[in-house]
């Protein structure tokens, strides 16, 4: 086998291979490490770093090539994800779900003892189902769109771009009923790590060319790049961030891919623009009122 064919094969099976490896990692780790938030944090960093590294070996589009400035901005968003978004998740969503769970008396102890792979699959399906409908809602209702729009102003994609967006949006798409179930920590961590990998793949500047069965079930850079199309109307397809099968089931799937991504002919948003974007109508309204009172 020539080295080129070997490379093609390696990249072709990289995405399903890494998903299997992640589940195996969480299944085989000693219990103390498999239940540790530190292990979970470093697993996430390793996945992001690894997929980003793949971009250097099998680039998809030269126009998406990472620059130091772009990397610095992406790293800031990743840090925001681990701090602000996690704080919102923990202090608002998680507490609300726990209070509801206690009030209604939901108990699922059988789940805690289930195999890690089964728990991970359930976490992925539950989270992605909520994510699909929230994301679809964001493309159909202006107040929600204002929180999500900054993610669509990206003019190039890479493995870290799933983190780029307004924290309100990232909090909203992360809402799910997962917290109502008694998953074990390794099961939860395995599910979240698999989702991390698929989100990285779906934004990565990598030529994977996966098998057809993989692209039928999971979101790939092909289907997700089309979701990042320049025209707003063209973004209204392929809403699933991880399971593109949901778009096929609910009639929103579109085949194809694009290298040209962004909004408003490629206008770039700085970090400050991204933070205030959801409040644009309020800010414009206040400015209008001030102008009116001066006139
Ligand atoms: Zn979107
Ligand atoms: Zn995206």
- Over residues 252-282, the pLDDT tens digits come to 999 999 999 999 999 999 999 999 999 988 8
What is the CA(227)–ligand 1 centre distance, in A? 6
Q: How far is the CA of 139 from the centre of ligand 1 (A)?
A: 6
Residue 292 has pLDDT above 80, yes or no: no
Distance 272 CA to ligand 1 centre (A): 20
| pLDDT tens figures, 16-72 | 999 999 999 999 999 999 999 999 999 999 999 999 999 999 999 999 999 999 999
Q: How far is the CA of 15 from the centre of ligand 2 (A)?
A: 17
In angstroms, what is the span from residue 241 Cα to ligand 1's centroid?
9
Q: How far is the CA of 33 from the centre of ligand 1 (A)?
A: 35
pTM above 0.85, yes or no: yes
Q: How far is the CA of 108 from the centre of ligand 2 (A)?
A: 33
Residue 77 to residue 177: CA distance in whole angstroms: 25
> How close is the Cα of 148 to the center of ligand 1, in Å?
7
Local confidence band at 1 (pLDDT 50, 70, 90 cut-offs): low
Mean pLDDT of all residues in the chain? 94
Q: What is the pLDDT of residue 8?
A: 95
How far apart, in Å, are the Cα atoms of 20 and each of 25, 37, 218? 9, 21, 14
Distance 292 CA to ligand 2 centre (A): 39
User: Does residue 295 have a pLDDT over 70?
Assistant: no
- Note whether 214 and 140 are within 8 A (CB): no
d(CA 292, CA 281): 16
243, 125 Cβ separation under 8 angstroms: yes
What is the whole-number distance in angstroms between the Cα of residue 3 and the centre of ligand 1? 38
The answer, yes or no, to whether residue 147 has pLDDT greater than 70, is yes
């Amino acid at each position: 086998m020539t080295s080129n064919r070997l490379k093609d094969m390696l990249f072709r099976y990289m995405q399903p291979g890494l998903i299997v490896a992640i589940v195996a990692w969480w299944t085989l780790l000693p219990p103390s490490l498999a239940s540790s938030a530190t292990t979970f944090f470093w697993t996430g960093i390793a996945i992001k770093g690894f997929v980003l590294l793949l971009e250097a070996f099998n680039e998809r589009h030269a126009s998406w090539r990472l620059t130091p400035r772009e990397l610095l901005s992406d790293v800031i968003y990743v840090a925001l994800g681990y701090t602000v978004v996690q704080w919102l998740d923990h202090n608002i969503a998680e507490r609300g779900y726990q209070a509801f769970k206690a009030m209604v008396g939901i108990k699922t102890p059988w789940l805690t003892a289930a195999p890690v792979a089964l728990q991970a699959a359930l976490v992925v399906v539950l989270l992605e189902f909520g994510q699909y409908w929230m994301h679809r809602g964001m493309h159909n209702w202006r107040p929600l769109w204002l929180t999500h729009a900054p993610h669509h102003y990206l003019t190039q994609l890479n493995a870290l771009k799933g983190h780029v967006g307004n924290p309100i949006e990232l909090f909203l798409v992360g809402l799910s009923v997962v917290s109502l179930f008694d998953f074990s920590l390794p099961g939860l961590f395995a599910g979240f790590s698999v989702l991390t990998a698929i989100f990285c793949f779906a934004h990565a500047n990598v030529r994977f060319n996966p098998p057809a069965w993989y692209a039928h079930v999971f979101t790939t850079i092909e289907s997700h790049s089309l979701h990042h199309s320049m025209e707003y109307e063209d973004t209204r397809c392929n809403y699933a961030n991880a399971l593109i099968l949901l778009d096929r089931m609910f009639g929103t799937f579109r085949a194809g891919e694009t290298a040209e991504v962004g909004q408003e002919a490629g206008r770039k948003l700085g970090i400050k623009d991204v933070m205030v974007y959801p409040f644009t109508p309020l800010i414009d309204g206040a400015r209008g009122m001030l102008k009116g009172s001066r006139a």
